[in-house]
Amino acid sequence: MLEHKSLREKVVLITGGTSGIGRATAMAMGGAGAKVVFSGRRDPEGEETAALVRDTGAECKFVRSDVSSEADVKALVQTTIATYGKLDCAFNNAGIDPPVKPLHEQSLEDFDKVMAINVRGLFLCMKYEIQQMLTQGAGAIVNTSSIGGLIGFPGISPYHASKHAVMGLTRSAALDYAKQGIRINAVNPGMTDTEMLDRLDSGSVNDLSEVPMGRKGQAAEIAQAVVFLCSDAASYITGQPLVVDGGFTAH
């Protein structure tokens, strides 16, 4: 059962916490009793998130950090340990979307950029988080994939390739560490009301009439799924996608 303050005394690291799903999750983690370290590349937005998390009564630290830089990721994990002494949970959430157009019009530069952040960056985060979790003998990681990590859509093939890769990393790493107390799952949001969806909306790839619940998801609704997967209530769940999409992939 998901208890009140289900992450009490836990130390949580979140990437891409300066807006959207990452910010909402930082607030939800704080509300669930965790100490929160989060990263992003924008200082003013980082300070805004930090204030929102502290409003929940939680301790919180913002670290300016780019997931595509190995040195930054290593330093981010080290700062977490130096600040709060351990790392219990990680939410690898930072991600970008390429311009909306069919594959033959996509540039190699945009493809490489999406892969560098959504896949290589997430790989680096897992690598250094897991190194720390192995020394502690426990940990829970949630990676942000997407419904685009399970099915296709027209217009954003590089993005969906990256989110399928996130599922591959999630499932295989879950098997690597299943006996060592580290659970690794994915959250797979559908159309969620954030800056990213605003950008995709302008490319008109999203049609709400296709969503059985008839509305966009809210970042706070994704956040609750992440809190659950990080909590002990999910103690027998590893290597799985948790789809939060208003029923989109049900048909």
Identify whether 159 is a catalytic site residue: yes
Of residues 98, 189, 241, 246, which one binds ligand NAD by CB under 6 A? 189
Q: Does 146 bind ligand NAD (CB under 6 A)?
A: yes
Q: Which phi and psi angles does 228 have, rounded to 5°? A: -60, -50
Q: Token pair of 199, please?
A: 């950008």
* Residue among 41 and 86 whose Cβ is closer to ligand NAD: 41
* Cα–Cα distance measured from residue 4 to residue 104, given in angstroms and rounded to the nearest whole number: 50
Report, in Å, the least distance between residue 50 CB and ligand NAD. Answer: 13
Q: Does 40 bind ligand NAD (CB under 6 A)?
A: yes
* Cα–Cα distance measured from residue 14 to residue 18, given in angstroms and rounded to the nearest whole number: 10
Stretch that binds ligand NAD, among 3-11, 18-26, 77-85, 98-106 (CB under 6 A): 18-26
* Residue among 23 and 183 whose Cβ is closer to ligand NAD: 23
Q: Does 46 bind ligand NAD (CB under 6 A)?
A: no
Residue 183: other Cβ atoms inside 10 A: 23
Stretch that binds ligand NAD, among 1-9, 102-110, 167-175, 187-195 (CB under 6 A): 187-195
> Which of these is catalytic: 84, 128, 159, 177?
159
In terms of DSSP H, where are the helices of 9-90?
20-31, 43-55, 70-84
* Residue among 152 and 181 whose Cβ is closer to ligand NAD: 152
Q: Transcribe 180-191 into DSSP letters.
A: GTEEEEEEEE-S
Q: Which residue has the tokens 């009301």?
A: 193
Q: Which phi and psi angles does 185 have, rounded to 5°? A: -130, 175
Which residues lie closer than 8 Å to 201 by C-beta, 6 or more apart?
Answer: none
* Residue among 11 and 94 whose Cβ is closer to ligand NAD: 94
Contact residues for ligand NAD (CB under 6 A)?
15-16, 18-22, 39-42, 66-68, 93-96, 117, 121, 144, 146, 189, 191-192, 194-197
Q: Which residues are catalytic?
A: 159
